[in-house]
Amino acid sequence: MLRVVSWNINGIRSPLQSLGCQIPSNCSTVLRHILEELDADIVCLQETKVTRDALTEPLAIVEGYNSYFSFSRSQRGYSGVATFCKDSATPVAAEEGLSGLFANLNGDVGCYGNMTEFTQEQLRALDSEGRAVLTQHKIRTWEGKEKSLTLINVYCPRADPGKPERLTFKMQFYRLLQIRAEALLAAGCHVIILGDLNTAHRPIDHCNAGSLEWFEEDPGRKWLDGLLSDLEYHAGSHIGSFMDSYRYFYPKQERAFTCWPVITGARHLNYGARLDYVLGDRTLVIDTFQAAFLLSEVKGSDHCPVGAVLNMSCVPAKQCPALCTRFLPEFSGTQLKILGFLVPHKQEPMWEQQVLQPSHQIQVQKQQKSQAHRYSSRPQKHQGGSRRCQRNLMSYFQPSVNLPQTSPAVDLPRLPLVGTLVTPKTQEEDVIARTVAEQTKVSEVKDKKAVQTLFWKSVLSGPSPTPLCRGHREPRVMRIVKKTGPNMGRHFYTCARPQGPPNDPSSSCNFFLWSRPS
C-alpha cells in the first residue's frame, strides 16, 4: 500500500515550535516525529514560508527521508512547498515549478505541453513564488505491472478581493497546472495533484455558501468543474481528466472542512471550508485508490492534513534526483565556508629568524642603542618636586598670604528698632491664634491630597469596562483591523464566542462595534 498525505503547514517552523523545538539541532528529530505521526510514504507540505538562505540542515535533511523544496524568489517568509519521501519511496525524478524554466536537465520530470499562450515573463512570475514541486516515482500495481506516477505538490494562489490582478494570476496558475498535468497524462504517466487549491468546489464544501453572491459563478469553481469528472454518470455528464478522491468515497459527506479562520475560533464549531484536495486521474482513482481521509484532529495550522491510500507499492530509485536537498552545496559539504579562510598563521622559530635575517637583527640592535643614548642624554627630573610640579587642588582654597588679617569678629549688642511697639498678647489670644493656624494648615493638606487623588485616579483609571454583546450579554473582545485600507489600525469590538452556524446558539452573535478613540 502507498499512503500519501498533504498538509498546508502554515510555516514549517510553526508546528515545531508548538512541540517545543527551541534548539535548532532538535528540529530534525521533531520534524521526523511529525512525519512519522502522519504515517505516510510521501508527505507534501504547503506554505512552508522558508527561503533558500533561511533553510537549515535540520529542516532540510531528516533521517529516513529525502526532501525536495521550492522557495519563493519574490518575497521572504512567503509561500513555498516541500515534499518528503521515505527512502523506500525515493523518486526517480524531481523538478521545481510547472513551466520548466527552473529545470536543470538532470533528473527532471519533463513533459511540459503547449505553453505558447504564456510569455516567458509570465511563466517566470508564476514559478517564482515557490508553489509547485513535482516528484516522479516508479510504482508496481497489484497486478505486478510497473508504471510511472507523478505527484504534483501545489499551493495555489489566493484571490484577494481588493487586488484584481491576483485573480488573474490565480487563473493563470490554474491553467498552467492543467496544461502540465494533462501533458504528463498524455505521455502515459499516472498523475496525482495534491495540496491547497484555495477554492471550495461545491456548496457542500463551504460553511456559508448560501450567503455568498455568485458562488457558482466563481472562476476557480468553474475551472474545477472542467478539470474534474462528475461523480454521477448520466447522459450529458462531464468527464474530466481527474477525480476528487474524497468525494469519490464520500459524495454526500457534509461539514468535511479542511481550513478554518483562526481569529474567529471557527475550528471549535467546525465552521470552515474544504480547500485541500487529493486529485487523481480517473483510471488511477477507480482502479487503485482504496481510501481517502481528513485528519481534522491534527493541530498546528489553520489547515488539517488530507490524504489517500493506494493499492500499489513504490520501487525506490537507487539514487536521489539532483533536486534533493542533501545535494545542495551548503548541506553536501562542497560549499566553502568563511572559516576555511581563517587559518592560524604559523610563526617561525627564533633560531630560523636569526639565521635567515642577521643583517636585519644588527640594524635593530643599532637602533635600540641609539635610542637608549638619546634618552640617557636628556636631563633627569628632580625627585623632590619643583616649582613647575602640579599643584594640589586644596591649595586653591587656602587664604592668600598677601591679604591683611582681619580682627576677630566681635558680637555687638542688638538694640530694638526705634519706633517699634511691642504689644504683649494675652494667653487666650495666643491659644486661639495657634488653633486657627493649625486648622488652616490641616485643611490645606486635605485639599492638596484630594486634588492629587483626583489627578491620579484620572490618569490611572485604566480601560473602561468591556461592553457586553447584544446576543449573549457577555463581555466582548477587542480586535484590530490589519487589512490595508482606510480602517487599518482601528479597534473594534466583536462577540467573544467562536464563529459557527447561524442556527447554533453557542456560536458568535456577529455583534460589531467600532471602539471610540481614547
Q: Which of 271, 306, 335 is the last residue of a domain?
A: 335
441 assigned to some structural domain: no
**56 and 196 fall within a common domain:** yes
330-335: long-range contacts (C-beta < 8 A, 24 or more apart)? 330/57, 331/57, 331/60, 331/61
Dihedral pair phi/psi, residue 235, rounded to 5°: -60, 125
Can you name the residues that pair with 228 across neighbouring β-strands?
242
Q: Does the residue 384 lie in any domain?
A: no
What domain range includes position 186?
Answer: 2-335
pLDDT > 90: percent of the chain: 47
Q: Does residue 359 fall inside a structural domain? A: no
List residues forming the annotated binding site for Mg(2+). 8, 47, 196, 198, 302-303
Report yes or no on 284 lying in a domain.
yes
Reported confidence tier of residue 352, pLDDT bands at 50, 70, 90: very low
| Of 169, 180, 177, the residue nearest 195 (C-alpha) | 177
Using DSSP's 3-state secondary structure scheme, residue 155 falls into: strand
Q: What is the pLDDT of residue 199?
A: 96
Domain-terminating residue out of 335, 366, 387: 335
Of the residues 285, 312, 335, the one at which a domain ends: 335
Q: Does residue 400 register a pLDDT over 60?
A: no
* pLDDT score recorded for residue 338: 61
- Whether pLDDT at 335 is above 80: no
Residues at the binding site are 8, 47, 196, 198, 302-303
**Alpha-carbon distances, residue 176 vs 70, 119, 129 (angstroms):** 17, 12, 14
pLDDT value of residue 79: 94
- Collapsed DSSP state (helix, strand, coil) of residue 492: strand
Q: Considering 137, 190, 201, 303, which one is annotated as catalytic?
A: 303
Query: At 260, which CATH number?
Result: 3.60.10.10
For position 18, what pLDDT does the model report?
Answer: 53
Percent of the chain exceeding pLDDT 70 equals 76
Alpha-carbon span 72 to 291, nearest angstrom: 33
Is 184 among the domain residues?
Answer: yes
User: Between the CA of residue 109 and those of 124, 137, 270, 315, 515, what are the distances in Å?
Assistant: 18, 10, 39, 17, 56
Of 468 and 69, the structure prediction assigns the larger pLDDT to 69
C-alpha cell at 89: 519511496
Residue 257 maps to a domain: yes
What residues are paired with 280 via a beta bridge? 192, 243
- C-alpha span between 499 and 511 (Å, rounded): 11
- State yes or no: pLDDT of 20 exceeds 60: no
Q: Does residue 384 register a pLDDT over 60?
A: no
Picking from 10-14, 123-127, 146-150, 313-317, which range would have the lowest pLDDT averaged per residue?
10-14
3 state SS of 201: coil
C-alpha separations of 411 from 297, 408, 414 in Å: 99, 10, 9
Is residue 461 one of the residues assigned to a domain? no
Report pLDDT for 129.
Answer: 96
- CA-CA distances (angstroms) from residue 57 to 44, 94, 129, 283, 399? 18, 20, 22, 39, 79
145 and 288 together in one domain? yes
CA 229 to chain centre: 37
Distance set, CA 321 to CA 33, 42, 80, 328, 336 (Å) = 25, 15, 19, 12, 23
Residue 446: the pLDDT is 76
pLDDT in tens, 168-218: 999 999 999 999 999 999 999 999 999 999 999 999 999 988 777 788 889
**281 φψ region: left (φ > 0), alpha (ψ -120 to 50), beta (else):** beta
Residue 385, pLDDT > 50, answer no
* Same domain flag for 129 and 276: yes
According to the model, what pLDDT value does residue 239 have?
84
- Give the per-residue pLDDT at 277: 98
Q: DSSP state, 512?
A: E
3-state SS, 346-381, equals CCCCHHHHHHHCHHHHHHHHHHHHHHHHHHHCCCCC
C-alpha cell at position 278: 487529493
Q: What is the pLDDT of residues 125-153, one digit of tens each?
A: 999 999 999 999 999 988 889 999 999 99
Structural domains in the chain (count): 2
334 has pLDDT over 60: no
Per-residue confidence (pLDDT) for residue 169, from 0 to 100: 97
Q: Contact, 200 vs 209, CB < 8 A?
A: yes
Higher pLDDT, 350 or 322: 322
Cα 352 to the chain's mean position, in Å? 59
Evaluate whether 135 touches 93 at the Cβ level (below 8 Å). yes
> Residues 419-448: what's their mean pLDDT?
69
Rounded mean pLDDT, 510-516: 78
Comparing CA positions, the residue from 246, 215, 208 lying closest to residue 4 is 246
**HEC secondary structure over 17-59:** HHCCCCCHHHHHHHHHHHHHHHCCCEEEEECCCCCHHHCCHHH
Q: For residue 472, indicate whether it is catalytic.
A: no
350 pLDDT higher than 60: no
155 classed as catalytic? yes
Residue 60 vs residues 94, 97, 122: alpha-carbon distances, Å: 16, 18, 29
408: cell is 576677630
DSSP 110-133: ------TTS-HHHHHHHHTT--EE
Query: Which of 196, 205, 244, 276 is an active site residue?
Result: 196
**Which pLDDT belongs to residue 23?**
47
Mean pLDDT of 361-366: 54
User: Of the segments 372-376, 410-414, 467-471, 491-495, which one has the largest average pLDDT value?
Assistant: 491-495
Strands (E), 107-217: 132-141, 146-155, 190-196
- pLDDT confidence bin for 230, thresholds 50/70/90: confident
State how far the Cα of 218 lies from the Cα of 48, in Å rounded to an integer. 27
Q: In terms of domains, do 231 and 85 share one? A: yes
139 bridge partner residues: 147, 314
Residue in 68, 155, 246, 277 annotated catalytic = 155
CA–CA gap between residue 496 and residue 467 (Å, rounded):
11
d(CA 95, CA 108): 5
CB within 8 Å of 119: residues ≥ 6 apart? none
Report the residue count for the chain.
518
The pLDDT value recorded for residue 473 is 74
CB 218 within 8 A of CB 209: no
Distance CA 7, CA 119 (A): 32
Average pLDDT of the residues of the chain: 82
Question: Which tens digits make up the pLDDT trace of 242-300?
Answer: 999 999 999 999 999 999 998 888 899 999 999 999 999 999 999 999 999 999 999 98
3-state secondary structure at position 382: coil
Assess whether 375 carries a catalytic annotation.
no
In a domain, 295, yes or no: yes
Q: Which secondary-structure segment (H or E) carries 93?
A: strand 93-96
pTM: 0.70
